[in-house]
Amino acid sequence: MKVVTRPGQRRGVEVHEFASATASSDDLATLRRHIYHDKIVVLKSQTLDSADFVALGAEFGTPVPYYEPMYHHPDSEFVFVSSNVHRETGRIGVPKTGAFWHCDYQFMPTPFAVTLFYPQQLPTASRGTYFIDMADAYRRLTPQLREAITDTFCWHSARRYVKIRPTDVFRPLAEVIADVERITPAQRWPSVLIHPITGERVLYLSEAFTYAIEHASGQPLPESLLSQILAECGQLDEHCAHDNIFLQSYEPGDLVLWDNRTLVHRALHNPGNEATESWRVTVLDDHPLSAQEPT
């Protein structure tokens, strides 16, 4: 296994000659270290089936099936499928997922620690993932904003981006919305996490899921504070040109792992209808979301 830093890339390392079937425990420990400290690890030239992919995920934590079955791979509930591919046997997964700033499962009681993303079929252009390192974004906040969010918490909900399921057709929208609130009730997390492994302070909020900010006591704070933080960290830049934003593009065989506590991400989809499919496995590690004691 060869780990190299990537010239011209803002984050992460690239790994050559890694084979999950023969990887040593030292190799896996090295990858774990790089995921948390370099934030992104790109494994090159991978040829895994869905079972191999889940087994690889299990080396970095406990794989968790996505709560909504329509995303599941037919051979494994642990593989989340983003796909617009029409097969003779029908469609699998959901097309064009995640084109908004978020952390995976930020709206759930147990947000994922690590995401593994494995494109299966790539369009000729424009398929990638935008990222923002929210530990960097925290360091770059003005001292006034850092002060303003001390001892604050944010509320997160999936409600704006839940996809309508085929089984919801003909149901009253109010019922569907009530289901969303019952199945995925909003979660409250500290606005700034203490990363349990790196010790970094990480801004923990996203344009897609975060909808309110309040003092630790529960006293609401102005929505403008939330907008100001989102703007400063780059998540309101519709052109994705903000200095905090970097793009990870993909070559066939790439399998990308990232630290889902520290990075927010946003899918870049080809605007056309070219066939494209990606698989994802998400895992929990043995650490809390934040080393910070809840108040």
Binding residues for Fe ion (CB under 5 A): 98, 104
Residue closer to Fe ion by CB (options 55, 267) is 267
Q: Which residue is nearest to Fe ion (CB)?
A: 98
Instruction: Report in angstroms how near the CB of residue 222 gets to Fe ion at its nearest.
Output: 28
Instruction: Report in angstroms how near the CB of residue 162 gets to Fe ion at its nearest.
Output: 14
Please give the single-letter amino acid code of residue 209: F
Instruction: Report in angstroms how near the CB of residue 256 gets to Fe ion at its nearest.
Output: 12
Query: Of 288, 282, 289, 287, which Cα lies nearest the Cα of 58?
Result: 282
Instruction: Report in angstroms how near the CB of residue 104 gets to Fe ion at its nearest.
Output: 4
Residue closer to Fe ion by CB (options 103, 193) is 103
- For residue 164, the cross-strand partners are none
Residue closer to Fe ion by CB (options 30, 235) is 235
Query: Of 244, 242, 247, 289, which Cα lies nearest the Cα of 266?
Result: 247
Residue closer to Fe ion by CB (options 104, 259) is 104
Residue closer to Fe ion by CB (options 104, 207) is 104
CA distances (Å), 97 to each of 71, 231, 269, 277, 292, in order?
Answer: 10, 23, 9, 10, 31
- For residue 15, the cross-strand partners are 3, 43
Instruction: Report in angstroms how near the CB of residue 265 gets to Fe ion at its nearest.
Output: 6
3-state secondary structure of 248: strand
Residue 181 to residue 190: CA distance in whole angstroms: 21
